[in-house]
Chain A
């Protein structure tokens, strides 16, 4: 079985996001970029499936700017076998919408015929939480979102999902799309020898036009603004004072 893992290049999760004063967006120039943390978990899971003999090839794919190939090299250094870069934007500030990403991925799936697509549940930049579900709809496949456990057995997969009330386990028909949540695994770090080896692994370059997909956004960003900040509070000196303040405020 081949596993396809879409990965996204996003602002590193440790970087403090700065909103441009003119409302045009978030400043991404000269900011550290990394693989979306949820996608790292997806890559890790795919590699573990290969190590367990349940998958025979792991293909990473990224859709975005030319520089997303750095993100793909990370996936290759972790253990993916080859990569596909689909260049769909020139400017790092152009975010390709999940619907367009899903349409391109659907074409990649058609070509590659994977038995499983493993994706992050959301990207930490636009926080839309949509691509996996949309791809699943376009392909008419089953979907298992927010996975914290994955067990593939022949033509079905048993997936435990993180839901509001606790956990839900479902069984889905293969081929399927699984989007992964935080507790599925802990991704490995790429070792230096593997980083060197990754440079020699195959990376195909395509464009959105090669797949005939129109990536024109459906949502226009009118404005990007700072969230409202909270007024500074006070430091109390004791539990008694805290109780008194809470009573004054009518909070208890």
Chain B
């Protein structure tokens, strides 16, 4: 068995955490070949070659691959597929855009958001926003899988895999990139942060979200938000944690003014330690919290910020 792993490459840079977690998720499936694709991807390929457990790295550089457009990237992967039993990637928005297209080109099903590998054909994945876990066995010749990275530890670094350059597939010319609007932040990336501080509708306004951000900055944490807070315009959508946002599993997750709707819990319940601060003692968030504090967040959060560190 052999695995082709689509690395997460953004603007020529390897997203090490997501890629290394997908490598460790794949290790029982066979020799792992990592594909780094982009307008520039050589540096990403060199970085991927250092991940423990990587047997080989393929680098495909072409303008058509520059912004991870689904059509040219899927065409490239489908062209390589014959050599592999498994085609995998970390379950990022890029991979979720590309992998189902690859699967359909190969006439196989995609298996999204896998949280555990049972054997080469059998995988666990959450359904119904994590309210149930389904174990599925694939009868397809090629398995196309995205791994939910929050449930796997990152593979270490220290390897020295060989790097081979390959050419891109013909660009079908169906789509083109216009622009990216990426939020600039000095804070850690939400899905790989060790600590996440999230605010919910209880925070009340975009202005008041500053107290969430102040606590996050004190802890060197990423900032998250519930869907209710995002829908209310208090926080941008890329902060959203939950079924419809990002899935996180930090060492410490602090939920402030979040009631704990099922859809939010789906995105954070694998965190190692969960703290909930909410003035409503009946809030469901307290049922999953290791430490709950029933308090007015406008007093408790600034006090916590002051007393930590």
Could you tell me which A residues sit within 8 Å of B by CB distance?
A: 11, 13, 16-17, 19, 26, 97-99, 102, 124-138, 140-146, 148, 158, 161-173, 181-183, 217-227, 230, 232-236, 238-240, 242-243, 245-246, 249, 251-252
Closest to A146 in B: B93
Choose among B109, B112, B292 the residue that contacts A129 (Cβ–Cβ < 8 A): B112
Assembly CA distance A130 to B281 (angstroms)? 39
Beyond A161-B93, A232-B287, 16 extra complex contacts between A and B, CB < 8 Å:
A17-B131, A26-B128, A124-B243, A145-B70, A165-B10, A166-B236, A172-B174, A182-B244, A225-B132, A230-B287, A233-B288, A239-B300, A239-B303, A240-B307, A249-B273, A252-B219
Contact in complex: A171, B178 (CB < 8 Å): yes
Contact in complex: A164, B246 (CB < 8 Å): yes
Taking the closest CB of chain A, its distance from the CB of B287, in whole angstroms, is 7
Q: With A166-B183, A252-B252 given, is the CB distance from A230 to B135 under 8 Å?
A: no
Q: In this assembly, does B186 line the interface, its C-beta being within 8 Å of a C-beta of chain A?
A: no
List the 3 closest A-B pairs by CB distance, nearest first: A142-B174, A133-B100, A137-B104
Choose among A133, A162, A170, A183 the residue that contacts B104 (Cβ–Cβ < 8 A): A133
State the interface size on chain B (CB cutoff 8 A): 91
Assembly CA distance A98 to B113 (angstroms)? 15
Determine the chain A residues whose CB is within 8 A of the CB of B99 once the complex forms: 133
Determine the chain B residues whose CB is within 8 A of the CB of A219 once the complex forms: 109, 111, 136-139
Closest to A167 in B: B181
Determine the chain A residues whose CB is within 8 A of the CB of B289 once the complex forms: 233
Determine the chain B residues whose CB is within 8 A of the CB of A142 once the complex forms: 71, 174-175
Taking the closest CB of chain B, its distance from the CB of A36, in whole angstroms, is 12
24 contacts between A and B (CB under 8 A): A19-B131, A124-B129, A130-B103, A137-B103, A137-B104, A142-B174, A143-B70, A145-B96, A164-B92, A164-B246, A169-B179, A171-B176, A181-B244, A220-B137, A221-B134, A224-B134, A233-B289, A233-B291, A235-B291, A235-B292, A239-B304, A243-B308, A246-B308, A251-B272
The residues in B between 231 and 254 inclusive whose CB is less than 8 angstroms from any CB of A are 231, 236-238, 243-244, 246, 251-252
Choose among B109, B136, B307 the residue that contacts A239 (Cβ–Cβ < 8 A): B307
Assembly CA distance A25 to B141 (angstroms)? 26
Taking the closest CB of chain B, its distance from the CB of A140, in whole angstroms, is 7
Determine the chain B residues whose CB is within 8 A of the CB of A11 once the complex forms: 128
Contact in complex: A236, B291 (CB < 8 Å): yes
Assembly CA distance A235 to B287 (angstroms)? 10
Contact in complex: B238, A166 (CB < 8 Å): yes
Assembly CA distance A172 to B295 (angstroms)? 50
Assembly CA distance A249 to B292 (angstroms)? 14
Determine the chain B residues whose CB is within 8 A of the CB of A165 once the complex forms: 10, 180, 182-183, 238
Taking the closest CB of chain B, its distance from the CB of A222, in whole angstroms, is 4
The residues in B between 115 and 157 inclusive whose CB is less than 8 angstroms from any CB of A are 122, 125-140
Assembly CA distance A245 to B71 (angstroms)? 51
Assembly CA distance A60 to B72 (angstroms)? 30
Contact in complex: B294, A235 (CB < 8 Å): yes
Determine the chain B residues whose CB is within 8 A of the CB of A171 once the complex forms: 175-178
Assembly CA distance A164 to B309 (angstroms)? 30
Determine the chain A residues whose CB is within 8 A of the CB of B291 once the complex forms: 233-236, 242, 245-246
